Amino acid sequence: MPGTTDGRGFSLTPGEQALVSVPSMGSPLSVLPDDAFENLLVLSATASPEKVESLVERRGGDPEKVGVVPVTGSPTEYDGPLWTTDPVDPSDLTGISIRLSKAMQYVMPGGWVVVDNVNVLLMYGREEKVFRLFDSVVSNAREKDACGAYCTVRDAVTDETYSRLRGFCDREISVE
């Protein structure tokens, strides 16, 4: 059974994967430890690359050390210091998987992989396919010896769904 941690400012050891319960409003990136911004890949379904860049800068991080896979139904263009992939529709789990696989080459041991809102994937994709994608992302982060933080709004998923997601991770953390 994965361990549970409450509170803000959590940390993970390299290779550790956590299901992180977050409030429905606000950025999960605001609760990451400072060292996460040294090598960070974000699958972002809630913030544009511009917003991620702004948050990274507010936290004192270097945007050039942060990558974003933008998950959005709207076309977006970004020309800034973050490294980004082309945007991908939230219903295109295959496209998300491909972009994440390519972006993982930039994640170093001890780096961080963050999915800022698993709920969005569950809204647009079939649950079983989302679980397969989730398993793949967690496994790839573990293989890279990277920390993984997979954020979900706990009240917006069923107990069964949450339990299955939790089963992929080493521990659960609540920052609500």
The predicted-structure confidence for 140-171, as pLDDT tens digits, reads as follows: 999 999 999 999 999 999 999 999 999 999 99
Confidence class for position 35, pLDDT limits 50, 70, 90:
very high
DSSP H or E run through 69: strand 66-70
More confident residue, 30 or 112: 112
DSSP letter for 85, please: -
* DSSP reduced 3-state for 39: coil
Of the candidate ranges 20-24, 74-78, 99-103, 117-121, the one whose mean pLDDT is the lowest: 74-78
Which pLDDT score is estimated for 6?
47
Residue 10: per-residue pLDDT: 86
In the beta sheet, which residues pair with residue 26? none
Residue 8 has pLDDT above 90, yes or no: no
Q: Given this model, what pLDDT does residue 98 score?
A: 96
Chain centroid to CA 6:
19
CB 147 within 8 A of CB 167: no
Residue 35's Cβ-count burial label (10 Å; 0-12, 13-18, 19+) is middle
Residue 76 is predicted with a pLDDT of 79
